[in-house]
């Protein structure tokens, strides 16, 4: 079955694909978008959004424990994690429907199925739920925005473990879990599940968590996770899993864990490029990622790629901006490239970690330790003053000694992500330590420490 030609065909209705499709359509382009899963992508359906909703729920146990310090008494208060999971899925359903509605209002045609390139202009869509039905689409331009997928290790019994997607589909949580991984997803789920009353053992192949974040911050998170009852095991990796769901036996390279309620593999993600027909279109790939230039163009001039499929900075806002920059340039005739400097990032652990700019380790490698000066403030926030317990706060600035330019801004503590988002504006504008010093503090707040450090 053939269709009239489209100005743009987008493969993947995640953050980057949706942003590009709607922006291109706003310029008058005739746009098709293809999605074989749910519209919204990883972030909305099985990533950032549901994960953060679970995090909010997991914090209530601590609020309940601290309540008496503020003269509030709860009797028999507890978290029903089954209801929480159900409510999160309901919100995801709402957002999925919202994104479908927004596509329709934007004039973008949605095809529910799996797209595969037949050549540099033709995409074959295998209809979802009816694999025998193939729709042929022709596009003047094609955008690959299929994102990534979680990695499952190649060990015996790995199919018995969960990937991050699976957590959101659970009807109830087990009493205990084993988590493998050291990155965002592993640390976030360790803290979330621990907060919901699950006993957590986390196994880390290397010696540290959160590669790419400032070590002083990640070390502080390690301390608090351990104080909060999370068992962290370094230098260990999965070897095999056996048993039945809910009663698993896990072997690492050095220990055996029996009667395990569940195993989560948070061992990285890969670009989703399998079965896209990239070779049919002549598209170059490198180490399982699509190669693009600064304008998101592949080696085939009419084919582009954005987001995690290019495996550059795999964050939702980056994919969104890449998609919009592509549409602005190609269809809006407003040449624009994405600015990858000072991209803020956060780990929604407990406590949160957020950062923008260079870590101290990276700054030393680039500038030399003698040319740098670091400032820090470590304290207990006012929210924890009466309970006399809770996560610490650490705020840190990395500066170039001679110019006083701020190279990195880092934080551990409540509302880190919200605060660092504002700090990212200052760093993007080239702020110096003197600029921070001249800014009046807002008291009493956590963020004021950034402008009072000496």
Determine the Cα–Cα distance for residues 41 and 57; give it in Å rounded to an integer. 23
Name the catalytic one among 121, 251, 410, 443: 443
Strand 134-144 to 303-305 pairing: parallel
| Residues in Cβ contact with 231 at an 8 Å cutoff, skipping those fewer than 6 apart | 200, 201, 202
Per-residue b or e along 304-315, where b marks 16 or more CB atoms closer than 10 Å to that residue's CB: bbbbbbbbbebb
Query: How many C-beta atoms lie closer than 10 Å to residue 294's C-beta?
Result: 9
- DSSP at 359: -
**C-alpha dist (Å) from residue 212 to 215, 313, 351, 412:** 8, 12, 18, 15
Determine the Cα–Cα distance for residues 360 and 399; give it in Å rounded to an integer. 9
10 Å CB burial of residue 392 (0-12, 13-18, 19+) is middle
Task: Give the three-state DSSP class for 88.
Answer: helix
Determine the Cα–Cα distance for residues 91 and 53; give it in Å rounded to an integer. 9
443 is catalytic: yes
* Nearest residue to 238 via CA among 225, 222, 254: 254
Determine the Cα–Cα distance for residues 58 and 232; give it in Å rounded to an integer. 19
Which residues does the annotation mark as catalytic?
443
């Amino acid at each position: 079955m053939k269709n009239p030609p489209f100005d743009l065909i987008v493969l993947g209705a995640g953050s980057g694909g949706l942003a590009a499709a709607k922006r291109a359509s706003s310029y008058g382009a005739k746009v098709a978008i293809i999605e074989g899963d749910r519209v919204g992508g990883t972030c909305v359906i099985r990533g950032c959004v549901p994960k953060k909703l679970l995090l909010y729920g997991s914090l209530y146990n601590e609020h309940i424990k601290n309540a008496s310090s503020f003269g509030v008494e709860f009797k028999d208060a507890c978290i029903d994690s089954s209801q929480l999971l159900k409510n999160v899925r309901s919100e995801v359903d709402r957002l999925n429907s919202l994104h479908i509605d927004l596509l329709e209002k934007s004039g973008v045609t949605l095809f529910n199925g799996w797209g595969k390139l037949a050549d540099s202009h033709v995409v074959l869509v295998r209809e979802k739920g009816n694999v025998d039905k193939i729709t042929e689409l022709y596009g003047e331009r094609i955008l690959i925005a299929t994102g990534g997928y979680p990695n499952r290790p190649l060990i015996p019994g790995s199919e018995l473990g969960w990937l991050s997607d699976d957590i959101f589909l659970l009807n109830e949580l087990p009493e205990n879990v084993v988590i493998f991984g050291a990155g965002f997803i592993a640390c976030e789920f360790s803290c979330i599940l621990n907060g919901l009353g699950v006993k957590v053992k986390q196994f880390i192949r290397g010696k540290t968590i959160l590669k790419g974040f400032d070590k002083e911050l990640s070390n502080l998170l390690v301390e608090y996770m351990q104080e909060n009852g999370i068992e962290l095991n370094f230098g260990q990796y999965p070897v095999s899993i056996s048993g039945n769901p809910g009663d698993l036996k896990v072997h690492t390279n050095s220990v055996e864990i029996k009667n395990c309620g569940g195993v989560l593999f948070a061992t990285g993600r890969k670009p989703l490029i399998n079965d896209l027909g990239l070779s049919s279109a002549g598209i170059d790939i490198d180490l399982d990622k699509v190669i693009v230039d600064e304008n998101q163009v592949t080696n085939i001039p009419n084919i582009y790629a954005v987001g995690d499929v290019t495996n550059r900075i795999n964050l939702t806002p980056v994919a969104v901006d890449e998609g919009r920059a592509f549409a602005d340039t190609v269809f809006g005739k407003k040449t624009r490239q994405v600015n990858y400097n000072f991209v803020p990032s956060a780990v929604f652990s407990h406590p949160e970690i957020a950062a923008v700019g260079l870590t101290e380790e990276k700054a030393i490698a680039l500038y030399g330790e003698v040319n740098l000066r670091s400032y820090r403030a470590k304290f207990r926030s006012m929210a924890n003053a009466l309970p006399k317990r809770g996560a610490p706060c650490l705020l840190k600035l990395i500066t170039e000694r001679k110019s006083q330019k701020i190279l990195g801004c880092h934080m551990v503590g409540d509302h880190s992500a919200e605060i660092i988002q504002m700090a990212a504006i200052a760093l993007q504008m080239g702020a110096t330590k003197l600029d921070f010093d001249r800014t009046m503090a807002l008291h009493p707040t956590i963020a004021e420490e950034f402008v009072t450090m000496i």
